[in-house]
Structure 1
Amino acid sequence: MEQKTITQHTALEYKRRVCLAMNYISQNLDQELSLEEIAQQASFSMFHFHRIFKAVVGETIAEFTRRIRLEVAANHLLYKPNDSITTIALHYAFSSSQNFSKAFRQHFKMTPSAYRKQKRKFGNNPSNKENVLSLKATYAMTPSLSDLPKINRSIEVKAEIKTLPEYHVAYVRKIGPYGPDTCEKAFNELCQWAAPKGLLNTGIVLGVYWDNPEVTPPEKCRVDACITLPPGATLEDPIATQTLQGGPFAVCHFEVKPDQFQQAWDNAFTWLVDNGYECGEQPCYEIYYNNASDYPEGKWIFDICIPLLVKP
């Protein structure tokens, strides 16, 4: 019971710190904030901060920032009718009134001028004290922990904390958007090299994903297709080797269809946050147990392994 209380407290602290990040964004909507700046405000390491934020809030940092900018701008349209659309657009760090109008139309399904006209038509009075207070509250944007969204948990997560060993691996690295043109090429190349050596029967196949495509430009994302090598193995072929660091990991087990990988990652980090664990600075990786093409339901069976912070 004591351990459960500690875990609940840690999870609450996690969410409190994400709320600090949300507040900082909301208080600086007129600026382009860096990921490092936002992470520092909440005392998070940058390495996995973006995924942690999404696990708690249900939106990426960019999605959250854009939505809050548009919602506050919508209030500005109503309660400061003498401010031009261009003035409002530039005030909330949109590069032009055209870009603002396009984003606004996508979000509210109408142009800023139409929104202003329609809402005022139905009785919004900018001199009304309640409306002014509402605008100030919107500017403050101080979220409550109980207001944070419920994350989609449609994929079952079977998770546990494990101490994983170091893995000495041969690997093929590809750079580009995660998907068939990058990941499959890397694994196909690795398998063609490993199969004649019998390594596919004895080794563990892993995928190391160094970057988060919601932060890193997709064309610059790195993936390593890896297979473990037996102790003392030496390689004469022109293929790279590396050692993946061991230690405590959150190991989240999934059986999913090919189009559910992103949801699996989202749910893994949601589990991590809910249970109060903090990420270490190493990259995450996947361990694969099958080839989906050989599985009756076409599902991948794999673990997402998230490194945990080792506290002194």
Structure 2
Amino acid sequence: MSRLTLALDVMGGDIGPRITIPASLKALEYDPMLSLLLFGDSQQITPFLSNIPKALAERLTICHTSHQIENNQGLTYALRHSKGTSMRLAIEAVQKGMAQGCVSAGNTAALMGLSKVILQPLKGIQRPALLALLPTIEGKYSVMLDLGANIDCDAENLYQFALMGSIFAENQLNLVYPRIALLNIGEEEIKGHQAIRFAAEMLEKDTALNYVGFIEGNYLLNGKVDVIVSDGFTGNIALKTLEGAAKNVIALLKGKSRHHLLKPLLSWLMSKLFSESYQRLKSINPDQYNGASLIGLTSVVVKSHGGANEQAFSNAIKDAALQVRQQIPQKILAGLEKY
């Protein structure tokens, strides 16, 4: 592994330093070649760094900030009042070359807006998108975007999302000619709003991309396609629905339900009908899939869930480090030039 430095907005998220600092230490323990710049209120940060090993302390730098962007602030207000905030300074550290990537669990719209202004989209990209990996029932992954960065998208935006998603899947999942689908309310060509239908026409004409048609929400986790494309409004709802359903089912199977009659009945049925899949489902840890990438930017930016726990935020840091080492932005730019 190569040495690298990441800039963290440790004030972002629902809980802030109580989660992000222990998570940072976990990431440093996992990756001995990683260094972190911690942007946030030093008075809130330092209590969590007492008595840590010297080897870890040497790879941590506290960058004091007195302000932060709140999750409930609108985009315009957040951008206008972003000067001196932990999120903005973390992004600016990447711009200045102090770090090679940024991680935040803060306001998604503000993170996207600031990243676009400060780091800039890749040449030719109209709108960067929020991308994540979805686990499939086959034990593999699918790429899904956009997951909330762009609420309203036209056909050209969706086409570019498909292009970026395909390049990302080729590099992150080692796929050749990844299968691309547009998330829609039906598989028929006449279904969906105009932008989706026009995007489908554009993708069908591009023989360099492996477009296979529309996909419905009930097939998102079955591995039918490798890249799932949607606007940010639809994608965000779909993702959160999947996450909520998965966590509830897993909690039920692991004995956390108060419904004493339903739990043993469902567990018995699952174990008898789907023995192999049942054991795999019980072993799933949803925190493993925390972290979405702001794809289409000149540098790596990873958005963690606001409610992420220590392990989940630590995984987001690991994901950002991996993308930096794999040079994902550079590969996307090179890939764009091919199409």
Task: Tell me the TM-score normalised to structure 2 length.
Answer: 0.23
Task: Tell me the TM-score normalised to structure 1 length.
Answer: 0.24
Larger radius of gyration: 1
